[in-house]
Amino acid sequence: MIRQRVGSIAATIVFILGFIGVGHMLATDPGRLFRQLLFIGIFGLVFYVIYRVFIGRRMSPEDMRYRKTAQASKKRMQGNRGPQVKPSAATKNKKSRKPGSNVTKLSKRSNVHRSNPPHLTVIEGKKGKKKKKANM
């Protein structure tokens, strides 16, 4: 517990000194500050590109299959963007009500009908059969 406090205090001191240093540099030499920030940004971009080209491309066969399946699923779901919500009974009854009546509003719950059911199969097991018990 004491180590966590010491680390937290040390991090706070480093951040405060960093803000003081950035503020001082901004006040005395803003051009140098912007050059340093630009250099840090370019350096980070170079490391990011190197990571993506050399390290990020190495994927296991499982990752490749997962990515391929995810793309196929996304493509299939984009094709199902039709109207899926039917108007509920509450919205149908609104039209027939009189404007002056004090009827409490029904909860607006819509029925969602899926055009494509989930692609799941039921595997039939040994539901009716009893296990053979050892006779003792």
| Cβ contact 88:111 at 8 Å | yes
Q: Which pLDDT belongs to residue 36?
A: 93
The pLDDT mean for the chain works out to 76
* CA–CA separation, 135 and 113 (whole Å): 53
Q: In this predicted model, which residue has the larger pLDDT, 20 or 133? A: 20
Predicted confidence (pLDDT) per residue in 62-78, tens digit: 777 888 899 899 888 88
Which among 16, 39, 36, 13 is positioned nearest to 26, based on CA atoms?
Answer: 36
Q: In this predicted model, which residue has the larger pLDDT, 95 or 46? A: 46
Least confident of 46-50, 101-105, 112-116, 120-124: 101-105
* CA–CA separation, 1 and 17 (whole Å): 25
- Confidence bin at 51 (pLDDT 50/70/90): confident
Q: Which pLDDT belongs to residue 14?
A: 95
98 pLDDT more than 90: no
Q: What is the pTM of this model?
A: 0.37
120 pLDDT more than 90: no
* CA–CA separation, 73 and 71 (whole Å): 5
